[in-house]
Every structure is written in structure tokens, then in C-alpha cells.
Structure 1
Amino acid sequence: MMEGLEQLRFLENGTPVACVEVEAQGRLFWELNNPEDIPRIEAALKEL
């Protein structure tokens, strides 16, 4: 199985990737990883 992570593509091509630890402190984080995530994110954006 091959990984499809964007970060791996950058690393493969010699581009450094920085990781930053984030404290959520009650904030909502959105992640778009799969087509099924799109409606949930679109609905959340409409509420802004």
C-alpha cells in the first residue's frame, strides 16, 4: 500500500516540512482527507 500524504511528496522532492504543535483550547479543527469530509466542512463554513 502506498501513502498519499502531501507531506511525503514534499519530502521525496527534497522540500523540508515543519511540524508545529497546536493547542486547540476548545477550537474546532477541520480536516479534509476524504471526499466524505467535504459536506461537513462546507456546512461549517456556511455557519461562519
Structure 2
Amino acid sequence: MDKLLYVCNECDAMHGDEIANCQSCGSESIRTVPELELLDGMQWDIIL
């Protein structure tokens, strides 16, 4: 099973752990995305 990343819908910050609020902007709008789906061919900053 792929590891999930928690991605803010407002600022697109990625978090490695399940969160209720984005640690970058404070938004409560978070989506879960399989890590491989996002990282395939893209560069992102991940907040772990």
C-alpha cells in the first residue's frame, strides 16, 4: 500500500503525518493523496 501524503487544498503544502490543519497556512481543507501519485515526475516541499 502506498504511503499517503496530506496536502493542503489552499497552499498545496504536503505533510507526512495526518493533520487537522495545514502547518503552513492553517487551513482546515486537507486532502489525502498517494505519495507516488504526487511525486512521480514532480518536485514538492514536504513538511514531515
How does the TM-score come out when normalised to structure 1? 0.24
Higher share in helix: 1
1 or 2 for the larger relative contact order (CA 8 Å, sep ≥6)?
2
Query: Higher Cα Rg: structure 1 or 2?
Result: 1
TM-score, normalised to structure 2, is 0.24
